């Protein structure tokens, strides 16, 4: 049965603070615990979590305590054993949770695990809804911003790759893992002689560690053949409990092989035909492959959005999203634009060239958000004169003058391009003739430029003008990514996209909490105007 936790609002005459030396009690008030209790613990809305519990039976363990413990885990980057020790024996942790006496409320590890399982199951069963952890995250963002006077108008965005709890595996190693997973699901009495050998230690050593480079294809073909054999056995058993193994084997064989027309046996595909969305681990079906710059990784991508107003005392992460890492940065931002605007009222967004796309600009325009990029994807045309050298009307997109200063005899916009006609004499002796878009026709010369090219050229020119400012506004988010990775975001201890979203959400919330506590404790220098040069006399007002 669900019940909200309001017991902390009732003062206890037996609380530990009642028996503390006054000097110790004053020291307690200067720690992080009272700040967390006042601005985080008391602000947690427990009611959305009511869907996790029955309407009858014993009352649930307080959700605000369980959620806070998840925040503590990622603030301290500790394991569950250390977390439980902190709950049981650390008075600062107890004070932050509204518990005024050590040992006041017993908590078993199983209760903590069951809470995680309930949240996970809800997310899996309701994929179209925001997970239960995002609501408290946004509540904290708005609460911190109001208390610290943080402007949410200007924000910056970036992505970073991370791994789930899987190992980097080549095709041979992956094939072996998939095969073993399938074979272990087959009852011993149904194993063929070939499949029985798979579980022997000698088999792994022979296939993975004694393989020469020239034998790799034959070894892979052998494993694929055994995978197909295991799949046929599992299908014949028709056991619902082995559906996961059947699904993985089918997917792996489809992605990694083709069928020999004569024998019907699987044949390995060439490496270049393996898609980025193919299975990366026998134990994580959602992970994908991506190469970003010089980094190639199997796993996921985390996109974070953060405030960047230079007048803010500190910056807050305002949004996060986790997707398979082969999803484009621009696609993620385009999908999140409505949520970002609704939750924060963002007016300006700063990002790198990876976020340049028609989808992002259109979504931003609909919400009244100005996009500022440090660069653009693609290469700038060099063989022809820049489109920006033409005078083009901003409202009609019609060409009014060419780079040589000639006015067209006729101009129009149709079929997704702007067209202008010039006399033969105007183009024949023009200094830009070799680089111009102009083409000679019977009656005149005509210039045709795609409207997309016009738009891209204008955007590229605007980026060049504002590049220094845009780069300055965006640069700080790299430090946020680094801070998250130092707290375990680089490789999570969980698998699957749902669990990765949950843990990533908790880590981003923990970052905000740590920054807010540091602010309340005076850890950030007050931002003032520029200091006057040395030797400048100071005016003293009477």
Half-sphere exposure of 361 (CA within 13 A, CB side): 12
Pairing relationship of beta strands 370-373 and 348-351 according to DSSP bridges:
parallel
35-94: pLDDT as tens digits: 999 999 999 999 999 999 998 889 999 999 999 999 999 999 999 999 999 999 999 999
104-119: pLDDT as tens digits: 899 999 999 999 999 9
Q: Helical H runs in 127-280?
A: 134-148, 171-184, 193-198, 201-204, 216-237, 243-256
How sure is the predictor about 536, in pLDDT bands with cuts at 50, 70 and 90? very low
Question: Which DSSP category does 207 fall into?
Answer: I
Mean pLDDT estimate for the chain: 88
Show Cβ contacts of residue 374 under 8 Å, excluding neighbours closer than 6 positions: 350, 351, 352, 353, 463, 467, 470, 471, 474
pLDDT of residue 144: 97
Neighbour tally for 15: CB within 10 Å: 14
What is the distance between the alpha carbons of residues 31 and 36, in angstroms, rounded to a whole number?
Answer: 9
> What is 318-345 written as a DSSP string?
EEEEEEETTS-HHHHHHHHHHHHHHHH-
Question: Which DSSP category does 442 fall into?
Answer: S
242-283: pLDDT as tens digits: 789 999 999 999 999 999 888 888 999 998 999 999 999 999
What is the distance between the alpha carbons of residues 398 and 389, in angstroms, rounded to a whole number?
Answer: 14
**Which single residue is written with the structure tokens 């530990």?**
16
pLDDT of residue 17: 76
Are 121 and 498 in contact by the 8 Å Cβ rule? The answer is no
What is the distance between the alpha carbons of residues 137 and 44, in angstroms, rounded to a whole number?
Answer: 9
**Ranges in the chain annotated CATH 3.30.420.10:** 154-163+298-379+459-502
How sure is the predictor about 540, in pLDDT bands with cuts at 50, 70 and 90? very low
Pick the range with the lowest mean pLDDT from 78-87, 122-131, 230-239. Answer: 122-131
| Token digits of residue 67 | 């959620």
Residues facing residue 290 across a β-bridge: 297
Phi-psi group of 422: left, alpha or beta (phi > 0 → left; psi -120 to 50 → alpha; rest → beta)? beta
What is the distance between the alpha carbons of residues 236 and 249, in angstroms, rounded to a whole number?
Answer: 14
Task: Report the percent of the chain where pLDDT is more than 90.
Answer: 60
Looking at CATH, the fold of the domain delimited by 154-163+298-379+459-502 is given as Nucleotidyltransferase; domain 5 (3.30.420)
Are 304 and 319 in contact by the 8 Å Cβ rule? The answer is yes
Phi-psi group of 149: left, alpha or beta (phi > 0 → left; psi -120 to 50 → alpha; rest → beta)? left
Task: Measure the CA angle with vertex 289, ends 285 and 294; round to 5°.
Answer: 155
Show Cβ contacts of residue 83 under 8 Å, excluding neighbours closer than 6 positions: 69, 72, 73, 76, 112
Q: From 282, 170, 286, select the one nearest 219 (Cα to Cα).
A: 170
What is the distance between the alpha carbons of residues 149 and 416, in angstroms, rounded to a whole number?
Answer: 46
| Token digits of residue 516 | 């807010």
Are 542 and 343 in contact by the 8 Å Cβ rule? The answer is no
State residue 373 phi and psi, 5-degree precision.
-115, 150
What is the distance between the alpha carbons of residues 446 and 439, in angstroms, rounded to a whole number?
Answer: 5
For the residues 405-422, what does the mean pLDDT come to?
Answer: 90
pLDDT of residue 211: 61
> What is 87-106 written as a DSSP string?
HHH-HHHHHHTT--STTSS-
User: Diameter of the chain by CA atoms?
Assistant: 101
Edge-first strand order for the sheet with 417-422 is 410-414, 417-422, 445-450, 438-440
How sure is the predictor about 541, in pLDDT bands with cuts at 50, 70 and 90? very low
**Which single residue is written with the structure tokens 């050298």?**
389
Residues facing residue 295 across a β-bridge: 292
How sure is the predictor about 216, in pLDDT bands with cuts at 50, 70 and 90? low
Please tell me whether residue 404 adopts helix, strand or coil conformation: coil
Q: Higher confidence at residue 527 or residue 283?
A: 283
Are 500 and 322 in contact by the 8 Å Cβ rule? The answer is yes
- Taking each continuous run of H as one helix and of E as one strand, the counts in the chain are 18, 14
Neighbour tally for 311: CB within 10 Å: 9
pLDDT of residue 377: 58
Show Cβ contacts of residue 248 under 8 Å, excluding neighbours closer than 6 positions: 178, 181, 182, 279, 282, 285
527 burial via Cβ count (<10 Å: 0-12, 13-18, 19+): exposed
Helix (H) or strand (E) holding 68, with range, is helix 63-76
Q: Is the whole-model pTM more than 0.85?
A: no
What is the distance between the alpha carbons of residues 96 and 93, in angstroms, rounded to a whole number?
Answer: 5
Instruction: For the chain, give the number of residues.
Output: 542
Are 529 and 311 in contact by the 8 Å Cβ rule? The answer is no
> What is 473-522 written as a DSSP string?
HHTTHHHHHHHHIIIIITB-S--SHHHHHHHHHHHHHHHHHHHHHHHHTT
Helix (H) or strand (E) holding 119, with range, is helix 109-125
């Amino acid at each position: 049965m669900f019940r909200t936790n309001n017991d902390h609002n009732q003062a206890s005459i037996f609380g530990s603070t009642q028996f503390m030396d006054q000097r110790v009690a004053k020291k307690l008030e200067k720690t992080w615990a009272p700040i967390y209790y006042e601005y985080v613990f008391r602000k947690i809305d427990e009611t959305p979590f009511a869907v996790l519990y029955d309407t009858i039976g014993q009352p649930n363990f307080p959700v605000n305590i369980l959620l806070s413990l998840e925040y503590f885990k990622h603030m301290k980057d500790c394991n569950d054993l250390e977390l439980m020790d902190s709950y049981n024996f650390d008075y600062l942790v107890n004070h932050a949770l509204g518990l005024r006496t050590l040992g006041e409320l017993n908590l078993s590890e199983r209760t903590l695990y069951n809470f995680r399982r309930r949240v996970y199951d809800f997310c899996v069963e309701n994929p179209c809804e925001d997970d239960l952890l995002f609501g408290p995250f946004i509540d904290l963002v708005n609460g911190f911003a109001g208390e610290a006077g943080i402007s949410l108008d200007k924000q910056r965005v970036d992505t970073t790759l991370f791994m789930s709890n899987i190992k980097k595996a080549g095709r041979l190693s992956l094939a072996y893992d998939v095969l073993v997973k399938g074979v272990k699901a087959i009852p011993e009495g149904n194993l063929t002689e070939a499949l029985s050998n798979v579980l022997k230690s000698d088999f792994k050593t022979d296939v993975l560690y004694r393989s020469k480079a020239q034998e790799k294809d034959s070894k892979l073909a052998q494993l694929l053949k055994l995978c197909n054999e295991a799949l046929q056995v599992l299908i014949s058993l028709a056991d619902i409990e082995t559906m996961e193994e059947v699904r993985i084997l089918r997917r792996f064989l489809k992605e990694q092989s083709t069928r020999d027309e004569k024998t019907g046996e699987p044949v390995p595909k060439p490496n270049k035909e393996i898609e980025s969305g193919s299975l990366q681990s026998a134990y994580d079906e959602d992970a994908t492959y991506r190469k970003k710059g010089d980094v190639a990784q199997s796993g996921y991508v985390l996109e974070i959005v953060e405030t960047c107003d230079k007048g803010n005392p500190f910056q807050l992460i305002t949004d996060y999203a986790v997707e398979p890492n082969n999803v484009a940065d621009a696609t993620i931002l385009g999908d999140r634009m409505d949520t970002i605007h609704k939750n924060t009222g963002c007016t300006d967004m700063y990002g790198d060239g990876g976020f340049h796309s028609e989808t992002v600009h259109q979504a931003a325009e609909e919400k009244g958000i100005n996009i500022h990029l440090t660069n653009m994807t693609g290469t700038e045309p060099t063989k022809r004169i820049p489109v920006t050298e033409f005078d083009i009307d901003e409202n009609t997109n019609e060409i009014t003058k060419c780079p040589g200063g000639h006015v067209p005899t006729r101009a129009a916009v149709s079929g997704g391009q702007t067209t202008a006609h010039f006399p033969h004499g105007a183009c024949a002796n023009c200094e830009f003739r070799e680089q111009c878009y102009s083409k000679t026709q019977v009656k005149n010369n005509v210039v045709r430029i795609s409207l997309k090219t016009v738009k891209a050229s204008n955007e590229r020119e605007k980026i060049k003008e504002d590049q220094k400012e845009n780069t300055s506004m965006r640069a700080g988010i790299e430090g946020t990514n680094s801070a998250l990775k130092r707290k375990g975001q680089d490789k999570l201890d969980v698998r699957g996209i749902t669990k990765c979203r949950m843990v990533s959400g908790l880590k981003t919330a923990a970052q905000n909490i740590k920054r807010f506590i540091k602010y309340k404790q005076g850890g950030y220098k007050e931002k003032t105007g520029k200091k006057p040069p040395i030797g400048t006399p100071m005016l003293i007002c009477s």
